[in-house]
Chains A and B, each alone.
Chain A
Amino acid sequence: MQNLIDVQNLSRAFGKTRAVDDVSLSVSGGEIYGLVGPDGAGKTTTMRLLCGVLRADLGQVTIAGFDVGNQPEQARERIGYLPQRFSLYGDLTVMENLHFFAGVRGLGRKEWLPRAREILTFVGLDEFADRRAEALSGGMRQKLGLAAVLIHRPQVLLLDEPTGGVDPVTRQAFWQLLFRLLREGVAVLISTPYMDEASRCNRLGFLNRGRLMVEGSPQRIEARLKDRILEVEGGPRVILERVARDDPDVEAAHAFGDRLRLRLSRAGSAEIQSRLEKAMIGEGGLVGRIGPSPPTIEDVFIELLEESDA
């Protein structure tokens, strides 16, 4: 599948702050790319640059073959953008809202109605066509938002934190819709602060302070720390943590629920494990279990953050 989203060396600053700093990525049709990062990392700014709402200082964005800088209108026709604070018109019905958004997108009188019905069926809102938007539940409103940005059949879908604080049931339903879109060949770029949502994406990019720190499929990212994560069950936490942090092979140690999660500087081995266990017991700690644990993308991001702070 061809690249529907192609970003090269994108940069944008606000005053002295580099909101987006030399970001390059690409997403092909039928693929979902997750842009992960904390608040202020530059996710929303990147999205805005991609749809041409904001002008880039440097770099190039190509959407479905059209340069967003030189051919903004053609590019925008092919983009569906659901911003973080997407407002619907509360006093308008579902259908009226769609009519409005279709009209804004240039859909003529003959086209919009069948398309609106089609899209309502797709998102599962066909029974609620005449309900006022303000009377919809949070999940339904989300679906309406999605319908509104899909009405003109975009090839590229940009979603800025679409599932913030939302019911898991709603989130599931939303993702099922996204999967169906992927099957139709749409390229999806979704930004999210949630690690578990990120792990659903085909590929991820971790954004921090405007820079893309790592990229790849969740599994490839996790593989960076292959065999380097150990988990210890036991206590007291202070003792175990101290022993772990003093160990030359341990880079970081953090408590996690009732377990201690260690990141080693090299691949773990039975020798390292037994050394740690002995040291912990020696200091008066109790070790219930010590063993390897599959690394998570959060582990990787933390390693990257700690490296960049150092």
Chain B
Amino acid sequence: MINNRLLSLVRKEFIQIVRDPRTLYFTFAIPVIQLFLLGYTATTDVRNVPLAVFDQDRGPAARRLIDAYLAADYFRVIRNVSSEAELRKLIDNGEALAGMVIPPDYGDKVAAGRTATVAFVLDGSDPNVASTSFAAAELIGQAHSSKLTVERLVRRGVLEAMQPSLEVRAQVWYNPDMVSAFFMVPALIGMILQLMTSMLTATAIVRERERGTIEQLIVTPLRSWELILGKIIPYVIIAFFDTLEILVVGTFWFDVPIRGSLTLLLALTGLFLVGSLGIGLFISTVARTQQEAMMLSWFTLLPTVFLSGFFFPLAAMPPVLRVISYVIPLRYYLIIIRSILLKGVGAGSLTTEIVALAIFGVVVMTAAALRFRKRLD
């Protein structure tokens, strides 16, 4: 016979969760769906930028230049045009995002050892594409140019055919292919966990208030802390299951590695959850209907996502926002999860983040618990 008050409450919550198909769907299906959607679509990699080429030279040197661009795998030629007007039209109507104009004397100038100019036109309306294309175009151009110079010097006999003394090859550590999924999946775990736990906790409590059962609960010997814990514990357990679920999908489908300690990851996830559960609890003391609770959960999530370094690097933000980002728990959690999964670091390298999360969790929980008194007014 259950005579533990807290246990009775937790058990009742679980029965309700299990018998409510909508919540179950939300809890287990949506994270995976989100994962697939964002994992595939939210990529910052730029590839296959459609390029239109206006080759006025048509000689072998021009050919070599075009091949160099194609070999880098950033561009794909969609059309060889025969006028600048045509080029402009393609870019205007969006068929091409970039255009290359090779002057008629290109080949001659290269052979003569003089500087040849090639024009590159970019569609600036998508800054992401434009900046990457710009950088790519420059890089490829430089590389090709260096190559030509070396060839010339070798032909002149100044240089022996030798390897260049310095070759800068950017090597991206930990994510050599810069696969976005590796960035996205860990970040997604954080985002989904925060949304889910805060929203589910908030709506669970507000639902009791809407139905009128909260009055009955307050009138029982249940202590405030038991009420809070009883409402939170089921969602903590569910959140852990979700974390594992997402990790499993992330690892086996998206090949996201787990290079660090899984136990450490789960433990620190728990710490992160204290904060987001606190947010949910706080929302429940403010919202009067379940709809309000859901809206407030989304409302707290969106700026959190933007200021956490998820989509946009923190370094690129104005200083004001960067300061604000210091109070966003997701910011620290992202660092933690990416570090553990992709870098395999231990707790020692994460002390700042751990402390920050702990402080946040304690503050939010205390604030919420103070508001959540066993009173109706």
Q: Judge A-B direct contact (beta carbons within 8 Å).
A: no
Chain B residues near A (Cβ < 8 Å) = none
